[in-house]
Structure 1
């Protein structure tokens, strides 16, 4: 499934309201660990039917902060958060982000 980039709070709210379940990757454009996590997330997105979204931290700092506040999960990047029914139900970060781990969630 193709990943959609989200950039602002309004887009995030619409995604939460429109999707029973989805994954979100907070990605740093300058971090090599984040680049590796992004590759794993891309591989996962190709194999899942669950919608996958991505947020570029450097371009959407306000949204990244809003999501941390909304979920109660401290911001990290890279970081993947799984949402179900509008709630964060799982998250992980850094080198723990692998296609296999995401498929097992």
Structure 2
């Protein structure tokens, strides 16, 4: 799985633009949380580039302000871990904790 790192609030505009031509997934990960580590591992094990979804990885500990901006820009409540699926500039699906799975993201596309 080839993650694109989300480290700057200015990237959110680019993500919204990208999502007009291909679905974009943002995975918000806490490096201090075992549930987050399990969700990340499960996502990586089951990932398929064939689904055509561009994946972004956001480290909540290192880039908390970016995480807050993600919640504001896409109108979702912050959770950790959390996955968001962005299409046409809008969050069309989000899940947290044990609800995070590649199959669920793929079905939401």
Q: Same fold (TM over 0.5)?
A: yes
Q: Where do residues 22-101 of structure 1 align in structure 2 (5 Å cutoff)? A: 22-47=24-49, 48-101=51-104
Note if contact 1:44-1:102 (Cα within 8 Å) is conserved in structure 2. no
Q: Using the TM superposition, give the Cα deviation of residue 66 of structure 1 relative to its aligned residue in structure 2, in angstroms.
A: 0.5
Relative to the length of structure 2, the TM-score reads 0.87
Which structure's residues are more often helix, by fraction?
1
Note if contact 1:28-1:56 (Cα within 8 Å) is conserved in structure 2. yes
C-alpha separation in 2, matches of 1:29 and 1:35: 7
Show the counterpart of 2:4: 4
Q: Which runs of 5+ in 1 are unaligned?
A: none
Relative to the length of structure 1, the TM-score reads 0.89
* C-alpha distance after superposition, 1:17-72 (max 9, x if no partner): 23322111000001010001101221343343210111000011111001111122
Q: Which aligned segments of 4 or more residues in structure 1 are displaced greater than 4 angstroms?
A: none
Aligned residues: 105
Show the counterpart of 1:15: 15
